[in-house]
Amino acid sequence: MASSLVMARFDKLDSVASGGFGVVYRARDRRSGDIVAMKCIRAISLDDAAFSREVSALDACSGHPYIVQPRAHGRGDDGEAVLVMEFVGPTLRHVIRSSRRKRSELEVRVAMRQLLSGAKRMHDVGLMHRDLKPDNVLVDARTGNLKICDLGLSQSTAAPPPYAGHVGTRWYRAPEILLGSTEYDERVDSWSLGCIMAELLTRNPPFRGSSDREQLSEILDVLGTGDVKQWRGYKGQRLPGGCEPESSLRCLFPCPEEAKMAGRPPLSEAGFEVLSGLLRCNPEKRMTVAQALRHRWFKETDSASLRHR
């Protein structure tokens, strides 16, 4: 759509978010009267390649219920890039921080089914998101459904590796990227979704390193070193932390019978199979999002409620 038409079609109402990139406004579509989100990226901070990637990725995923839907894009008179999308609601990060209670396993299952479904759509059209985190997930204020957003770091898998290293946000960055790999695949998104699942259960990110080395150390302290050492991409690097070869993740997410005594969030055996499958340090053994969606956790007795969310 021509830039002048984009700017003329929408009326800015108020700012809903801002950062170094620019500002996101709530706006009104003059044609339909719909409220939309208008992301305005300052010319000084504009990365044309990232903007083009996001536009292309959103177009490729158009129509999926758990990915934010594009409306229009163009340029303003001052050179800023404008991306107009459906208006959804607050970020999942905001909702997690503002809530005083922990989610039930059923609520987490509903959320994870939606996020895995959105990620699968991206993977099916040949895209990795590469920056999945609660800040890049929106919560529909009316339905509570989740929608993946901010696809600016997405990468087409039609082009073979090597890919850019050290992409994404550190707390949700897969171990292979922390170890410097540039030959990763869609399972970097699986790892990020595993981190989000753990955060939904506890209200806190599971690994919070202040550097890549500290992040890897926190991961290995919980998941052990044995798994990553079996990865064919492991080059014998000295690993920080992680004195034990085996994972202690189950201790942090015990079965319901033991959770109250341990003071930890309960997680059924099936739920733990999904969490531990996503949080495999060895990407070759990590669950894909498609495998996770086929897991029995999503087919248990209360699955009828999942289909209507």
The residues carrying an active-site annotation are 131
Q: Helices 269-278 and 187-202: crossing angle, nearest 10°?
A: 130
Tokens of 15: 């700012």
Tokens of 283: 């990407």
Residue 15 has a CB neighbour count (10 Å cut-off) of 12
Rounded CA separation 68/88 (Å): 8
Rounded CA separation 196/41 (Å): 27
- 60-93 b/e with 16+ CB inside 10 Å = b? bbeebebbbbbbbbbbbeeebbbbbbbbbbebbb
DSSP reduced 3-state for 149: coil
β-strand partners of 26: 14, 37
Tokens of 150: 């901010």
Alpha carbon distances (Å) from 27 to 6, 148, 150, 224, 249: 12, 20, 18, 48, 44
Residue 119 has a CB neighbour count (10 Å cut-off) of 27
User: What counts of helices (H) and strands (E) characterise the chain?
Assistant: 13, 9
In 3D space, the residue among 24, 34, 115, 112 whose CA is nearest the CA of residue 67 turns out to be 115
In 3D space, the residue among 69, 204, 54 whose CA is nearest the CA of residue 145 turns out to be 69
